[in-house]
């Protein structure tokens, strides 16, 4: 015998919401069997009801707050996006003891603490698998499967739009703007695609991943962020010559150190999002289009890799439906899913202290002593050079320098000094190199 229906308020019926409605309808019987009760749509909040002819008109409303407040709603599924007014609606739902499933990484990366506190007050569930890496199960493994381990690093590609753009630039030499338009048309990009290309979306996801991995509340503002808008076809060609490709990476690390005053061991968290050159032989180099892939390193488990479709309506709806089944089951049988775990409360380390390898491309005058003077600047800032490549062009030369691992602050000072040298015509690009020995 099945229990009484679980009534679902759906907020948003765009790229992801449309697929949620389709899956709820097409798989109604199977979902009922899995939950132990039917899942029924109580209503769907949208902005422009006339646009949504594919869903029953009587379900549509423009009053999201009113829908959330209805007595016959058990679970709120939010796929609108943005911080306000969504935050208020989800807080209202949780405060009323309604479970929430959301794909909204921007909101979670700013306000997870407040939302979890509301959930704890009423015993409601807050699930968000779709907020990171589309269809890929990543939140649940970090929240549950690896809860007995110590995670040391999470690194990967977590934005489908930028990976789609960089893959196309690398594979076909396609232009940046036309590829971004295509990503929007395919439903990968955010409503405002600068969230993707400027790295905000990946930074939100990195904050969520770091919070889960290191049991510390990390917000988007804690994440060092660089997007891909400065990456040029010339950078991609230069990477190719050196057997590398360029990816937008999110890197969350547990960093160990020593307190300079007491000598005691310290631990902190470092979280960054930036484009990086990686060897073409690296597993992440083969992750193309809107696919995402994330490596998780844990002390006992070792290295794990998660791979799959990171954006798009149906893949994201799959993750939302997985959460919906979980919270609905909890309501049928009683009990709750995991709560926020932020007990470790580690400090967040500034980017200036992060060490990576760098690829620096300069346009310089081609004459005696230039290379030696450039090398001297690196030496002065204690940045060790791993490789140098020079190509003459009439009276100028293109100079590419790859460093060993160096602190961000030292590299920035070196580059500032180089930019001021009379024989350095242009600092063409400065890019981190990941996935190689230091």
Tell me the catalytic residues: 205
Q: How many residues bind ligand NDP (CB under 6 A)?
A: 27
- Sites for ligand NDP among residues 187-216 (CB under 6 A): 187-188, 190-191
H or E segment at 119?
Answer: helix 105-122
Query: Quick check: 46 binds ligand NDP (CB under 6 A)?
Result: yes
Output the CA torsion sign for 16, 22, 25, 28. negative
- Sites for ligand NDP among residues 63-92 (CB under 6 A): 64, 79-81
- Sites for ligand NDP among residues 293-332 (CB under 6 A): 311-312, 316
Query: Quick check: 128 binds ligand HSE (CB under 6 A)?
Result: no
Instruction: Please give the Cα distance from 395 to 413 (Å, whole number).
Output: 27
Instruction: Please give the Cα distance from 267 to 245 (Å, whole number).
Output: 32
Instruction: Please give the Cα distance from 402 to 246 (Å, whole number).
Output: 15
* Closer of 169 and 290 to ligand NDP (Cβ): 290
Contact flags string 141-170 toward ligand NDP, x per CB under 6 A? ------------------------------
End-to-end CA distance of the chain, in Å? 61
Query: Quick check: 188 binds ligand HSE (CB under 6 A)?
Result: yes
* Nearest residue to 130 (alpha-carbon basis) of 152, 175, 160: 160
What are 401's strand-pairing partners?
Answer: 360, 388
From ligand HSE, ligand NDP, none, interface partner of 161 (C-beta below 5 to 8 A by class)? ligand HSE
Query: Quick check: 53 binds ligand NDP (CB under 6 A)?
Result: no
Task: Tell me the helix, strand and coil percentages in the chain, rounded to 5.
Answer: 40, 30, 30
Query: Quick check: 165 binds ligand HSE (CB under 6 A)?
Result: no
From ligand HSE, ligand NDP, none, interface partner of 47 (C-beta below 5 to 8 A by class)? ligand NDP
Do the Cβ atoms of 409 and 247 come closer than 8 Å? no
Contact flags string 97-136 toward ligand NDP, x per CB under 6 A? ------xxx------------------------x---x--
Q: How many residues bind ligand HSE (CB under 6 A)?
A: 11
- 5: which DSSP letter? P
- Sites for ligand HSE among residues 134-163 (CB under 6 A): 134, 159-161
From ligand HSE, ligand NDP, none, interface partner of 325 (C-beta below 5 to 8 A by class)? none
Do the Cβ atoms of 89 and 72 come closer than 8 Å? no
Query: Quick check: 45 binds ligand NDP (CB under 6 A)?
Result: yes
Instruction: Please give the Cα distance from 19 to 313 (Å, whole number).
Output: 6
Do the Cβ atoms of 349 and 268 come closer than 8 Å? yes
> Contact region for ligand NDP (CB under 6 A) — 1-9, 14-22, 228-236, 358-366?
14-22
Which listed residue (310, 313, 337, 435) binds ligand HSE by CB under 6 A?
310
Do the Cβ atoms of 318 and 20 come closer than 8 Å? no
From ligand NDP, ligand HSE, none, interface partner of 46 (C-beta below 5 to 8 A by class)? ligand NDP
From ligand NDP, ligand HSE, none, interface partner of 51 (C-beta below 5 to 8 A by class)? ligand NDP
Take residue 365 and report the two structure tokens written for it.
């005058």
Q: Who's near 170: CB < 8 A, 6+ residues apart? A: 236, 240, 245, 246
The site for ligand NDP (CB under 6 A) is made up of: 12-17, 45-48, 51, 64, 79-81, 103-105, 130, 134, 187-188, 190-191, 311-312, 316
């Amino acid at each position: 015998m099945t229990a009484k229906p679980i009534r679902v308020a759906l907020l948003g019926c765009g790229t992801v919401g449309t697929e949620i409605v389709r899956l709820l309808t097409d798989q109604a019987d199977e979902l009922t069997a899995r939950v132990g009760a039917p899942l029924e749509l109580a209503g769907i909040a949208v902005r422009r009801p006339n646009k949504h002819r594919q869903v029953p008109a009587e379900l549509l409303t423009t009053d999201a707050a009113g829908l959330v407040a209805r007595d016959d709603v058990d679970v709120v599924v939010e796929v609108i996006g943005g911080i306000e007014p969504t935050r208020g609606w989800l807080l209202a739902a949780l405060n009323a003891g309604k479970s929430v499933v959301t794909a909204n990484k921007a909101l979670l990366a700013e306000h997870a603490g407040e939302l979890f506190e509301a959930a704890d007050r009423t015993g409601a569930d807050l699930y968000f698998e779709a907020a990171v890496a589309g269809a890929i199960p990543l939140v649940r493994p970090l929240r549950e499967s690896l809860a007995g381990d110590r995670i040391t690093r999470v690194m990967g590609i977590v934005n489908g739009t930028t990976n789609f753009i960089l893959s196309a630039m690398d594979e076909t030499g396609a232009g940046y703007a036309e590829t971004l338009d295509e990503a929007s048309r395919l439903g990968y990009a955010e409503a405002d695609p600068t969230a993707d290309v400027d790295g905000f979306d990946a930074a939100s996801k990195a904050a969520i991943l770091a919070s889960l991995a290191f049991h510390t509340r990390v917000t988007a503002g804690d994440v060092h962020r660089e997007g891909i808008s400065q990456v040029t076809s010339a950078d991609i060609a230069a990477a190719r010559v050196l057997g590398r490709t360029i990816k937008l990476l999110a890197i969350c690390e547990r960093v160990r150190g020593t307190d300079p005053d007491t000598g005691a061991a310290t631990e902190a968290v470092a979280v960054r999002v930036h484009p990086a050159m990686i060897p073409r032989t690296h597993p992440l180099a083969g992750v193309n289009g809107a696919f995402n892939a994330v490596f998780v390193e844990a002390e006992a488990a070792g290295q794990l890799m998660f791979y799959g479709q990171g954006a798009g309506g149906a893949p994201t709806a799959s993750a939302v439906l997985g959460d919906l089944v979980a919270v609905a089951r909890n309501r049928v049988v009683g009990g709750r899913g995991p709560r926020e775990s932020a007990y470790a409360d580690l400090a967040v380390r500034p980017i200036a202290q992060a060490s990576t390898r760098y690829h620096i491309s300069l346009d310089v005058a081609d004459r005696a002593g230039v290379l030696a003077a450039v090398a001297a600047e690196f030496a002065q800032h204690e940045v060790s050079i791993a490789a140098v490549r020079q190509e003459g062009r009439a009276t100028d030369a293109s100079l590419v320098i790859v460093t060993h691992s160096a602190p961000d602050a030292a590299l920035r000072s070196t580059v500032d000094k180089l930019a001021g040298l009379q024989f350095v015509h242009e600092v063409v690009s400065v890019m981190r190199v990941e996935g190689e020995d230091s």
